[in-house]
Chains A and B, each alone.
Chain A
Amino acid sequence: MKVAAENLALNIENIRNDFPILKRKVNGYPLVYFDNAATSQTPQQVIDAIVDYYSNYNANIHRGVHTLSQEATDKYEAARKTVQTHFNAAKSHEIIFTSGTTHGINLVASGFASLLEEGDEVIVSALEHHSNIVPWQMLCEKTGALLKVIPMNNEGELVVDKFQQLLSNKTKVVFLNHVSNALGTINPIEKIITEAHKVGAAVLIDGAQAAPHIKADVQALDVDFYVASAHKMCGPTGVGVLYGKEEWLNKLPPYQGGGEMIATVSFEKTTYADLPHKFEAGTPNICGGIAFGVALDYMNAIGFDKIASYEEELLHYGTEKLLKIEGLKIYGTSTKKTAVISFNIEGIHPYDIGTIVDKLGIAVRTGHHCAQPIMDFYKIPGTVRASFLFYNTKEEIDLLVEAVKRAKSMLQ
């Protein structure tokens, strides 16, 4: 065991060297970056890929006959294959590049507008990010469908029994996150997908918070749609993925009109391009897509199993250390969690803690984390959220604990 731990520590040192930003100072202190659930940092390999693209083969894709266009197209489509392999999609055209998770959700929600009728039901979970609530509310307003909510318990887990009671042959879509962004709870999506399919409902899983930690196998899950963002997985901002089963993507109408998504255009009739281009109107984020592929290669080279076990170690360590601070309460206490610790200290506003620890070089997120229903459930204005990724260390957690203690003594 000890040897394994040492090996891991050695790897972490090498890994940290890949991330130039981790060497910077903030307010005179070495940066401790614990806002990974908002966005992850970028390794040199990904930065190099971005520089390489703009330095050597920047060109528009899919339609040029010239060499640069061909090179860019090849790399972009190779990235699609990398994403396909990563999520184990059956076909590469089931991988749609998006601008991010929110885009993917909106694309699907908007498509369902033509498939739903008044009186149909859609089910959401109580643990959702606003981006996975609002598009579906808009869909319900448009179609007259009814929005139902899977409730949560005090540990921040979904009450699956209640979900089964909500299901009926009226249920057309179920959408929930794989991992809660505010609390880190890993939801039992396998069970939810199986049960939803029994009544013929489609399931969209928002994988934004899960994808940096858990390698989802979309075929094994038998999920209909799975969405994620590159920028939480060591990739650049402004690019993400929508996986959709071919049959579902064929059923949905195009989301945006424009170039790339057409087969033929005349003023009388336009025929749409085949998948995936039907959903990729306009010039895509070419560089972003390519860099996303490099980010996935980077994470897979480290290995998601190793990442998961190391992050679990960080989670346990951080939880134990933080709980020693008197008056500190952790929200989201499920046994199945990613490395997220959402907490408050009795009598202190989370913003105040966030402000003080920032002055000590520590980046955490404070607020409602775009999940106001969860904050309402706990009757709190927000929390301080420390979210870890594989490049973080126990020493950094010690710095957080000391900073929180200092903030507490200042603020009480």
Chain B
Amino acid sequence: MNIKEIQQDIIEEFSMFDDWMQRYEYMIELGKSLPLIDEKYKVDENLIKGCQSKVWVHAELEGDKLVFTADSDAIITKGIVAILIRAFSNQHPSDILEADTQFIDEIGLKEHLSPTRANGLVSMIKQLKMYAIAYQTQLD
């Protein structure tokens, strides 16, 4: 599936819930399924700045696809990272760079986060895109 299709799936999944408590429960479940970062990459240089809880993200190329792994010390944050990774992982860096993040607005995630967490979300997206830029230059 391409990024657009995955994002469409996520939008549909989130629209099935009646209220935000259910959506949070779902995010917590997603958090538990997050592809975990190898302990050796859980170092300060992989921490995302601008998050109030700790978030580590690692990226590596498998063939021409960029694969993300991550972890956080807060479970809801893990859920948020899991949603992003599902949308962007295992994709070509140039596709990641071109992809928009409209789906975040469509599932209403940002407005249901505290301002500090919403900032963290922006930082996470920025970091995934930074990795994509870095690996894109390797592929070129």
Contacts and interface: CB of A to CB of B under 8 A. Distances in A.
Interface of A: 27-28, 348-349, 351-352, 354-356, 358-360, 367, 381, 410-411
A381 B73 contact: yes
B52 A355 contact: no
Interface stretch (B8-16, B42-50, B74-82, B124-132): B74-82
Contact of B114 (A348, A349, A358, A411): A358
Given A349-B73, A411-B75, A355 B24 contact: yes
A355 B117 CA distance: 10
A28 B19 CA distance: 10
Given A352-B75, A355-B114, A410-B28, 6 more contacts: A27-B20, A349-B75, A352-B74, A358-B114, A381-B53, A411-B28
B54 interface: yes
B38 interface: no
A89 to B, nearest CB: 38
16 contacts: A27-B20, A348-B75, A349-B75, A349-B77, A351-B77, A352-B74, A352-B75, A352-B77, A355-B24, A355-B76, A356-B76, A359-B20, A359-B21, A367-B52, A381-B53, A410-B28
Contacts of A28: 19
A193 B102 CA distance: 58
Given A358-B114, A359-B20, A381-B73, A351 B25 contact: no
Contacts of A367: 52
Given A367-B52, A381-B53, A351 B24 contact: no
* Contact-residue size bin, chain B (C-beta under 8 Å from the other chain): 10 to 19
A139 to B, nearest CB: 29
A288 to B, nearest CB: 24
B137 to A, nearest CB: 35
A351 B20 contact: no
A212 B52 CA distance: 28
B54 A352 contact: no
Contacts of A354: 114
Contacts of B77: 349, 351-352
Interface string B51-67: 01110000000000000
Given A349-B73, A351-B76, A352-B74, A410 B24 contact: yes
A138 B134 CA distance: 39
A358 B75 CA distance: 16
Nearest to A412: B75
Interface string B83-125: 0000000000000000000000000000001100100000000
Nearest to A347: B75
A357 B25 CA distance: 13
